[in-house]
């Protein structure tokens, strides 16, 4: 296709021994909701299949969409726009500071710093801060708001320049960017080169154990090239001159873990949380293909049950809408073939309203359409938030409407 390519080796250990474990329907780009005037644009679908590396146990996508296409959408997510994420980053900064005790006034650098939300908390606690984010407009906004942000990708040249001009960092954080990058090896080397002798690298990544246990299909989309676990990360960091010293699980946004690493020569003791995570992963056999094949089978069972429900409703002439035009819903629209059933999608977010879903062009309307257009059923695409959505829109049920919650098991409420 030209706008995507497939890598042949594991992103973490370079092994070519890769096994397809979760086949998924090729899917439109997650955020490619188009306004009316762009509807004639060609929109492609791209593979979402997950592979397991039999060398190190890392679960990953091998098909990579050209970032210039993937991040070309009109909609740009800002960390500071979600209060729960802001609170999370405050706790994150406090936890790093309590755990690592970086010197007052030492440098905290965030790679993929977005609007500078995380760095703002380090700054408020007495650190000098520097953001690195290639999204130029967002970087400029962050700089204007007092968080100096270099509008570039992290390269060896930039790492060298930052170290020379600013000095070594006590803390380097890298969160989403670490899940989104294809060249993690290059990124890890750059980050290591930014660190002071007693500096730490802190990263938050989605945890594949949560995806499997909680059926988090919505976490699987084209930006998320890697679905991490602790064991492959220990080996990977070691290969890049670092040592994992702490693991902390977080339940926000489905499930992730925050890892803290020091240089291989570092003097901090390894926390018991690392051994505990490795023991849990060994017990769950997280490096074996069976775990993921079983996840895939549960997904297919859910799909079959949902298609039965939706076919029956359609046969009865019921009107069905979707709820939630977020990135994770796109995977579901494609894999569960929902375009055959949904007349429209509603979303609270004004930026998504009056757009059209990727490839299928299902219209996205404000949530009042639940009451103006009165669908009989609403399929909750953003199902991890099903409970608050159902509570908030209890009037929809009062008028006779029903919600369909697709996962972890299909349910009509």
Q: Which residues bind Zn ion (CB under 5 A)?
A: 10, 12-13, 15, 53, 55-56, 58
d(Cα 249, Cα 252) in Å, to the nearest integer?
9
Look at residues 314, 392, 387, 393 and name the one whose alpha carbon lies nearest to residue 405. Answer: 387
Q: How far apart are CB 47 and Zn ion at their closest, in Å?
A: 19
For residues 127 and 173, is the Cβ–Cβ distance under 8 A?
Answer: no
Q: How far apart are CB 224 and Zn ion at their closest, in Å?
A: 17
d(Cα 323, Cα 383) in Å, to the nearest integer?
9
Question: Of the two residues 61 and 370, which places its CB atom closer to Zn ion in the complex?
Answer: 61
Q: How far apart are CB 290 and Zn ion at their closest, in Å?
A: 18
d(Cα 304, Cα 271) in Å, to the nearest integer?
44
Q: How far apart are CB 131 and Zn ion at their closest, in Å?
A: 30
Residue 247's Cβ-side half-sphere holds a number of Cα atoms within 13 Å equal to 24
Question: Of the two residues 58 and 303, which places its CB atom closer to Zn ion in the complex?
Answer: 58
Question: Of the two residues 57 and 322, which places its CB atom closer to Zn ion in the complex?
Answer: 57
Q: List the structure tokens of 57.
A: 């146990």
Look at residues 287, 273, 103 and name the one whose alpha carbon lies nearest to residue 197. Answer: 103
Helices 83-100 and 117-124 cross at an angle (nearest 10°) of 40
Question: Of the two residues 52 and 407, which places its CB atom closer to Zn ion in the complex?
Answer: 52
Question: Of the two residues 208 and 346, which places its CB atom closer to Zn ion in the complex?
Answer: 208
Helix intervals (H) in 101-221: 117-124, 136-144, 156-166, 176-180, 184-194, 208-214
Cα three-residue angle 183-152-201, rounded to 5 degrees: 55
Look at residues 331, 320, 295 and name the one whose alpha carbon lies nearest to residue 375. Answer: 320
Question: Of the two residues 53 and 108, which places its CB atom closer to Zn ion in the complex?
Answer: 53
Q: How far apart are CB 11 and Zn ion at their closest, in Å?
A: 7
Q: List the structure tokens of 355.
A: 């757009």
Cis, bond preceding 408 (omega within 30 deg of 0): yes
Q: How far apart are CB 226 and Zn ion at their closest, in Å?
A: 11
Question: Of the two residues 12 and 233, which places its CB atom closer to Zn ion in the complex?
Answer: 12
Q: How far apart are CB 68 and Zn ion at their closest, in Å?
A: 27
Question: Of the two residues 12 and 169, which places its CB atom closer to Zn ion in the complex?
Answer: 12
Q: How far apart are CB 159 and Zn ion at their closest, in Å?
A: 24
């Amino acid at each position: 296709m030209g706008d995507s390519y497939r890598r042949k080796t594991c992103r973490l250990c370079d092994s070519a021994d890769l096994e397809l474990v979760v086949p998924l329907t090729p899917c439109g780009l997650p955020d490619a909701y188009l306004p009316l005037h762009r509807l004639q644009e060609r929109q492609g679908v791209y593979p979402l299949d997950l592979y397991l590396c039999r060398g190190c146990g890392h679960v990953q996508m091998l098909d990579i969409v050209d970032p210039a296409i993937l991040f070309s959408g009109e909609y740009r997510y800002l960390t500071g726009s979600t209060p729960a994420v802001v609170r999370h980053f405050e706790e994150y900064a406090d936890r790093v500071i309590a755990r690592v005790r970086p010197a007052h006034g030492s440098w905290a650098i965030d790679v993929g710093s977005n609007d500078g939300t995380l760095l703002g908390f380090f700054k408020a606690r007495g650190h000098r801060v520097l953001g690195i984010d290639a999204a130029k407009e967002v970087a400029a906004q962050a700089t204007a708001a007092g968080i100096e942000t270099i509008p570039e990708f992290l390269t060896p040249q930039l790492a060298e320049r930052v170290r020379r001009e600013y000095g070594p960092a006590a803390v380097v954080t890298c969160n989403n960017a670490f899940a989104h990058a294809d060249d993690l090896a290059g990124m890890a080397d750059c980050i290591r080169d930014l660190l002071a002798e007693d500096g730490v690298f802190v990263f938050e990544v989605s945890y594949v154990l949560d995806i499997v246990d909680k059926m988090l299909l919505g976490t699987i989309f084209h930006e998320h090239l890697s679905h991490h676990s602790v064991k492959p990360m220990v080996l990977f960091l070691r290969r890049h001159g670092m040592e994992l010293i702490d693991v902390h699980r977080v339940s926000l946004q489905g499930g992730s873990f925050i890892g803290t690493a020091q240089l291989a020569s570092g003097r901090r003791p390894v926390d018991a949380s690392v051994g505990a995570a490795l023991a849990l992963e060994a017990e769950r056999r997280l490096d074996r293909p069976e775990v993921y094949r079983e996840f895939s089978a549960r997904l297919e069972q859910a799909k079959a049950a949902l298609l039965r429900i939706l076919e029956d409703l359609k046969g009865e002439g019921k009107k069905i809408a979707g709820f939630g035009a977020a990135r994770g819903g796109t995977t579901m629209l494609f894999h569960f073939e929902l375009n055959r059933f949904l007349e429209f999608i509603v979303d609270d977010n004004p930026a998504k309203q009056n757009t059209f879903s990727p490839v299928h062009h299902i219209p996205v309307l404000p949530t009042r359409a639940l009451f103006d257009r009165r669908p009989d059923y609403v399929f909750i695409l953003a199902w991890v938030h099903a409970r608050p959505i159902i509570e908030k829109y209890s009037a929809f049920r009062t008028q006779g409407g029903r919600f369909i919650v697709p996962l972890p098991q299909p349910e009509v409420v």
